[in-house]
Structure 1
Amino acid sequence: MTARELQTLRQQVENLRLRNAQLEAQLGWQQSNEPDLFRFLFDTMDEGFCVIEFFDGPHGPLSDYVHVLANTAYARHAGIADVTGQKLREMVPDEADDWVARYGEVLRTGKPLQFEQELVATGRVLSVTTFRIEPAERRQVAVLFKDVTERHRAEAALQQLNEQLEQRVAIALAERSLLAELVEHSIARVQVVDSSLTFLAINQRAAKDFHYLFGRTPRSGDSLVECLAGFPAEQQIAMAYWRRALAGESFTEVITYAKRHFESRFTPLRDAAGHITGAYLFVYDITRRITEQQRLLEAEKALRQAQKMEAVGQLTGGIAHDFNNLLAGILGAQELMHQRLRQDRHGDLPALLDSACDSAQRAATLVQRLLAFSRQQTLQPQPTHIGTLVQGMHELISRSVGPSIEVICHFDDHDSVAFIDPPQLESALLNLCINARDAMPAGGRITIDISQLELQTDLAKALEVPVGRYLCLAVMDSGQGMSAEIVARAVEPFFTTKPPGRNTGLGLSMVYGFLRQSGGQLQISSQPGEGTCMRLYLPWTPKTVPLCPAPINPVAQAQAVTRRITLVEDQAPLRAVITEVLQDLGHQVVSHANGPSALAGPGEPELLITDIGLPGGLDGRQVADAFRARWPNLPVLFITGYDAQATLNGRPLPAQARVLTKPFTLEALVEQVAQLLH
């Protein structure tokens, strides 16, 4: 017999032995139980059940086992069908060692065992109860099990969720700890209160400052109201701020306390639903910033003062020549008048008087230009028909620019009404035409155009004026033009391209200042060799607004009725002149050198004339207020040698009041008196 045949015979014998053991186990099972009942229970039970029998295999003694018996639920729980008669190492060779170790321990010791283990081949987790079948020589172990894969997965998922939650809690706690650490050591003073003003939190810096200011160190759970007990004023202010925050308002307040400045930012505290549950406060010490700002303001003031001093220097060098010439003319005319009076030659006096008056008027005009440059001259705007104004100036402009220059006017006459000061606009227009004349020494053409336009957002922003309707008064010349550099500096004070002594450089500055104060703008367009266009944007007024009535005859009005007038003027020569002029018109004039003297005077005046700058502790505005406290409807004429806007401290003129700027003509004085009395 060959070795191969011998091996085959041995295998057949082994199979017969195993089959015999299986039959004996079945017979033993059936013999030890009531066959029908236990077979029914065995086949219908929910748990998987099997009996395994160990045998010696190629891997050593008791290294394998065979399933000698299995119920129907075995396949449902283990996922393997027809297991009876199958060997472990043939079924799951990769897992055989683990299962042999488990059940082999039960076979050797006889101790039952419960465990859970995954059957990798099917991916199921089994909960197993196993015990040895006696006697031990049978080498049999009973296995009862069920599929707990879903429970195991749920437990694993729950475990993973718990681990994730633990990780998130750890991260949140770390973040909270970090934020708490940052807040605790922040430079900001942090306070948090609930709706009952009980401290929820307060950081170290805030608690330290609170103790320094109020002698108490608040902690979480303390009442803010009680912590401020003994400081009623501070308590009242603090409660007002916190109540605003608890009402839902977020705001910032700058508080000065104990010579220090604090920026306090109050914010409501809301829950996840958006309901207000409290409020919190961040306080920053901004004392250093405020101090630096104050230093910066002082430096800016010093810079502006230096600029003013520089401007004064430029003024001295730029217009001293003009003033000296004007004063020389006035003094010379007066000296000649004295000589003519001594020589009894009266025939030359009118001409000398005209010369002195002309020089004085030119000096006054120069002062008005300076005030216009500062944008502080007193304006008296009124609805003005620009077309009529330009038409009325046509002859004056033509004479001023000379016969070699043609003056052409183009404008729509139907709706050219602006709210402007007419004399100032006339002066500005004449100034621009004279500048145009100087740019055309060989002659040329000046075109004056009036148009109406609506300034939209972009153009209005570029011109730095509000959006709306404007009148554009354009003065165009055919002269030499200007470079971009000169255009950029054209409205600067004292800037001029003319030779020294011929111009002060205040003309365009005066025009620009007048327009800006009037709510308008000046725009310059020019190219070298192509002429210049000056556009004056004026605030438009509907034509339905009534125009200013024509002036009445002041002399006729003044002489019609005698009125009682109180005059307050500290300069005796001017006081005497005004008194004499008004008395010549038939009025009763009571003059005073200061306010207290005037207030002590008897009788009720029908007109008060007062200088704004007065000695004696009361200025003209205060004198007028005192008089009007007695007689509310009393008309007032203010006269001043300073700028009226500045001396009135920016306050508007009261009703039935006018301002007359020195120097003024007697005719202007009489007209203003007549208007007020009328």
Structure 2
Amino acid sequence: MPSSELQSLRQQLEQSKQQNNLLKARLAKRNGAAPAPVEQAEADTQQRYRFLFEAMDEGFCIIEFFDGPHGPLSDYVHIEANAAYAMHAGIDNVVGQTLRQLVPDEAEGWIARYGPVLHSGNPIRFEQELVATGRHLDICAFRMEPASRKQVAVLFQDVTARKRAESALRRLNQELEQRVAQAVAERKILTDVVEATLAQIQVVDLDMRWLAINRAARDEFQRLFGLTPSVGDSLPDQMAKHPEDCARGLLLWTRALKGEAFVEIAEFGAGDQHRHYELRFSPLHDPHGQLIGAYLFAYDISERIREQKRLRKTEEALRQAQKMEAVGQLTGGIAHDFNNLLTGISGSLELSRNLIGRGRHQHIDPYLRTAQDVCNRAASLVHRLLAFSRRQTLEPRTIDVNRLVSGMTELIRRSVGPHIEIELFTASATCRASIDSSQLENALLNLCINARDAMPGGGRITIETRHLQADDQIAAHLDLPPGDYLALSVSDNGRGMSPQVLARAFDPFFTTKPVGQGTGLGLSMVYGFVRQSGGQVRVYSEPGQGTSVHLYLPRLDSASLPASEPLPAARTPRGLRDMTVMLVDDEATIRMLVGEVLSDLGYTKIEFGDGHSALAALQNGAAIDLLISDVGMPGGMNGQQLVAAARQLRPGLKVLFITGYAEQAVLGGGVFEPTTRVLSKPFSLDTLAQRIEEMIG
């Protein structure tokens, strides 16, 4: 699209937004209603953002990549730019113009700079001299999220003056260093040489007495400390009234007087006189090579430090705006799905209550089953969200991935239907990993169902496991540490994905399926689970060529494998039980339900609503065979703290954590002792009973 048309279109869109907002405000005023809080907050945020955008001293623009004649994502258009952009870069009316229109000869170089930022999401910072203007720019670029926008934000400062000054100072310093070494034998010549430069320069001997100090350095001492040092004065004596600055400075001079040449960034002064300096220390030798002192070139870089801090604050403000937009998208999707689920639950319970009130008890069973089904769907949605955010509680176990995949083949065939052919290729050698097997099963089934949906007319799904030895280059490409990995791949020959859809494949609540046929959390759940397990996910797809999803998981070597997989514990006959279970949860409803299960299983139970009371009972001698505890509890003692204290009294105590939300930080990253298990709320009572039976045995 020509730049003029694009710019005109953007102006029309902005005018339309303004008219729409004005109309909303007039309607609200006419109806006597204030603007909706969300709309007002959004308008305030946009106003603050626009003010920040236009008031910035730093040049700022947003570029959007598109497929050009030179290939995919081979050009970009400027969609936003502030006034400082034109002032610093010397380019007016940049909005709507493409890169290759502006600087066709330099286009490939800028694409090479910003393209990796778009693809990897890793920000970059560099200095660049503009060929057209000869200006030096300090440039920072980072991707605007979500990645599907194909947008990169670019911040830059004009540092031409600083670069020229630094170049001149370097030349001057080189000349001075040569002349100082030659003139050290005659102090008068040395002083004359030092005074010849505007840079701050000091020369001291091995006793830390000044051999030379120029006017710029003396003026700085006067301004910072109220001192006027002269040749022959002792640096420690002069600085004695400023102990902190003196200690910092003497430490640096000591290094230089031992023969070390180095550059240090340091702070001196207090209050309004506080400044940052770039200090370049070098040892000083006589014409015979004997160490006789050291010299220092000091540059005040306080303004540069302030500019960098402002730049970081601006970057953080933009990132925060992106985060809020992402949160808005996520919460909107959650609210939509949960409102539907809550409507199903409340409606079913309300109908059940009405039927009971009319004495029609025999008709309530379908509505109760519906409420239970909807509760299960809500629990599944929460688990998927936790998986997407990599905050779910995992229970890794050593498993043979080949065996897991082979064992699921029949289930996958039934799930995808007879019109889909399944091919399975497994690695010849052992393919083991420490991973949550149930989550891996869910991920594999999810990928196969997605593949099925991409082939409504039938097709082929290929499942493959293989080994991958990731050297430095491969590991960098996969964003993983170098090492031994196993790859689990699911490929189909379906319709594939366009680049636009592929870019958003992992976005939560993004789906191409019709309404009601997908939550948009499938791939994001797989991605979160694999990343939380220390692995990586890569998706490759082209329209009409199918899709391949590769899960890369850390592989266990043979030396780390157990001699054999543990056998299931033998079940204890109910009549022979004489065991006690301690139950700790601050929610009375949970204690009631779990207590009923324990009573039904024939166990003695003792219940507490907080960790302190439970620990006091253990300290008083209460004997228990299993501790069931919530993770997050009020009162200053959470579940993990209770268990740590309990195991001091009862080493090897068996513990079952029940948790309603992710507690990765409390539970140490999801890796537990063999006597510790986790059950996530909500859970069925049958599942709870089975887990208790497994642990008590």
TM-score, reference length from structure 1: 0.64
Which residue of 1 is the match for residue 473 of structure 2?
Answer: 458
Match of 2:620 among 603, 607, 610: 603
Please say which structure displays the higher CA radius of gyration.
Answer: 1
Which residue of 1 is the match for residue 418 of structure 2?
Answer: 403
> Secondary structure of 2:537's match?
strand
Match of 1:572 among 579, 588, 591: 588
Structure 2 distance, partners of 1:350, 1:560, is: 37
Q: CA deviation at 1:225?
A: 2.8
Which residue of 1 is the match for residue 194 of structure 2?
Answer: 180
Q: Does 1:324 align with 2:303?
A: no
In the TM superposition, what whole-angstrom CA distance separates every residue of 1:499-539 from its partner, at most 9, and x where no partner exists? 34433322222222222332322222222222212122222
Which residue of 2 is the match for residue 643 of structure 1?
Answer: 662
In the TM superposition, what whole-angstrom CA distance separates every residue of 1:646-665 from its partner, at most 9, and x where no partner exists? 56697976885544432233
CA 1:170/1:191 → structure 2, altered by over 3 Å: closer, same or farther?
A: closer
Structure 2 distance, partners of 1:671, 1:237, is: 65
Q: CA deviation at 1:557?
A: 9.3
> Secondary structure of 2:430's match?
coil
2:277–2:302 CA contact under 8 A, matched in 1: no
Q: Residues 248-327 of structure 1 correspond to what in structure 2 (within 5 A)? A: 250=262, 252=264, 254-255=266-267, 258=270, 260=274, 262-263=276-277, 265=279, 267-271=281-285, 277-281=292-296, 284-327=299-342
Q: CA deviation at 1:445?
A: 1.7
RMSD: 4.1
Which amino acid letter does the alignment assign opposite residue 399 of structure 1?
Answer: R
Which residue of 1 is the match for residue 56 of structure 2?
Answer: none
2:191–2:214 CA contact under 8 A, matched in 1: no
CA 1:191/1:639 → structure 2, altered by over 3 Å: closer, same or farther?
A: farther
Which amino acid letter does the alignment assign opposite residue 258 of structure 1?
Answer: A
> Secondary structure of 1:472's match?
strand
> Secondary structure of 2:441's match?
helix
TM-score, reference length from structure 2: 0.62
Question: For this pair of structures, how many residues does the alignment match?
Answer: 508
Structure 1 distance, partners of 2:693, 2:224, is: 66
CA 1:632/1:231 → structure 2, altered by over 3 Å: closer, same or farther?
A: farther
Match of 1:582 among 589, 598, 612: 598
Which residue of 2 is the match for residue 477 of structure 1?
Answer: 492
Q: Does 1:228 align with 2:239?
A: yes
1:242–1:266 CA contact under 8 A, matched in 2: no
Structure 2 distance, partners of 1:203, 1:639, is: 72
Q: CA deviation at 1:440?
A: 0.9
Match of 1:197 among 197, 205, 208: 208
In the TM superposition, what whole-angstrom CA distance separates every residue of 1:13-57 from its partner, at most 9, and x where no partner exists? xxxxxxxxxxxxxxxxxxxxxxxxxxxxxxxxxxxxxxxxxxxxx
Q: Does 1:663 align with 2:674?
A: no
Q: CA deviation at 1:386?
A: 1.0
> Secondary structure of 1:379's match?
coil
In the TM superposition, what whole-angstrom CA distance separates every residue of 1:408-441 from its partner, at most 9, and x where no partner exists? 2121353121233222221211111111111111
CA 1:480/1:224 → structure 2, altered by over 3 Å: closer, same or farther?
A: same
Unaligned runs of 5+ in 1: 1-167
Which amino acid letter does the alignment assign opposite residue 478 of structure 2?
Answer: L
Which residue of 1 is the match for residue 520 of structure 2?
Answer: 505
Q: Does 1:534 align with 2:549?
A: yes
Which amino acid letter does the alignment assign opposite residue 180 of structure 1?
Answer: V
> Secondary structure of 1:644's match?
coil
Which amino acid letter does the alignment assign opposite residue 487 of structure 2?
Answer: C
Q: CA deviation at 1:495?
A: 2.9
Which amino acid letter does the alignment assign opposite residue 270 of structure 2?
Answer: A
Match of 2:634 among 615, 619, 626: 615
CA 1:632/1:448 → structure 2, altered by over 3 Å: closer, same or farther?
A: same
Which amino acid letter does the alignment assign opposite residue 620 of structure 2?
Answer: G
1:450–1:473 CA contact under 8 A, matched in 2: yes
In the TM superposition, what whole-angstrom CA distance separates every residue of 1:143-180 from its partner, at most 9, and x where no partner exists? xxxxxxxxxxxxxxxxxxxxxxxxx9999779978963
Q: Identity percentage over the alignment?
A: 47
Structure 2 distance, partners of 1:269, 1:170, is: 11
Q: CA deviation at 1:228?
A: 3.4
Structure 2 distance, partners of 1:263, 1:324, is: 58
2:643–2:655 CA contact under 8 A, matched in 1: yes
CA 1:649/1:411 → structure 2, altered by over 3 Å: closer, same or farther?
A: closer
CA 1:442/1:552 → structure 2, altered by over 3 Å: closer, same or farther?
A: same
CA 1:328/1:391 → structure 2, altered by over 3 Å: closer, same or farther?
A: farther
Which residue of 1 is the match for residue 35 of structure 2?
Answer: none
Q: Residues 128-147 of structure 1 correspond to what in structure 2 (within 5 A)? A: none
Unaligned runs of 5+ in 2: 1-177
2:395–2:672 CA contact under 8 A, matched in 1: no
In the TM superposition, what whole-angstrom CA distance separates every residue of 1:565-614 from its partner, at most 9, and x where no partner exists? 54442222123223333344454544333344444445356555443333
Which residue of 2 is the match for residue 439 of structure 1?
Answer: 454
Structure 2 distance, partners of 1:443, 1:228, is: 84
1:494–1:505 CA contact under 8 A, matched in 2: yes
CA 1:383/1:246 → structure 2, altered by over 3 Å: closer, same or farther?
A: farther
Q: CA deviation at 1:481?
A: 1.5
Which amino acid letter does the alignment assign opposite residue 538 of structure 1?
Answer: L
Which amino acid letter does the alignment assign opposite residue 664 of structure 2?
Answer: Q
Structure 1 distance, partners of 2:598, 2:513, is: 45
Structure 2 distance, partners of 1:274, 1:576, is: 86
